[in-house]
Structure 1
C-alpha cells in the first residue's frame, strides 16, 4: 500500500502529515517519519491522520510508541484529524487520551 509522509516545522511545532493506509507493510515508514520528527526535538509534534482511511495494529503501535518517546523527551504529542473509522478504532482501544486525539 502506498504511504506518503510529509513533515513541516513552524516555530516549535513539527507537523507530520500521513497520507494513505498504514499497515504492517509500511509501518516502518511511519516510524521513520515520526522518529525523525522527534529527533529534531520540537516543542510539540502533531501527527495529522486526516488522509488515513485505515490503520492496523502495527501502525497504532508506532503512534503509541511515539507518544511514549515524546513524553520521555518532554515533547508535546498529539494525533489530529483522524477520519471517523480510524478514530473509532483508536477509541475502542482506549487510546484517545494517550494519543491526545483532536479534530
Structure 2
C-alpha cells in the first residue's frame, strides 16, 4: 500500500503475492546482459559463426539467463520479512552457481585450444 492507501502494483511479487526486493534481480539481469553481449559475439566469431548469428545466440543466452534469474530471485523468493534462509539451501545454491561458473569458464577456454 502506498501513502494514500492504494495498493502499489508496480512492485515485483513472488508466487504467493508477497513483495520482493527487485535489486538482486536487476543486478543479475544487468550483469547477464553485460557478460553475454560483450563476450558472446566475440566467442561466436571465434567459433566461426557470422556476426548476426553470434549476436542472435548471445541475445538468446541473455534471455535464458534473465528467465532463470526471474524464476530464482522473484517467483520463488521468500517474502522480505521471512528472516534468514537456513544454511543448507544457501550452500546448495552456492554449489550450483560454482558448478555453472566452472562450466562457463571451460566453455570460454575451448576456442583457445
**TMscore range, shorter length:** under 0.3
Report the TM-score when normalising by structure 1: 0.25
The structure with more strand, counted as a fraction of residues: 1
Which of structures 1 and 2 has the bigger CA Rg? 2
Q: Does 1 or 2 have the higher relative contact order (CA < 8 Å, sep 6+)?
A: 2
Report the TM-score when normalising by structure 2: 0.24
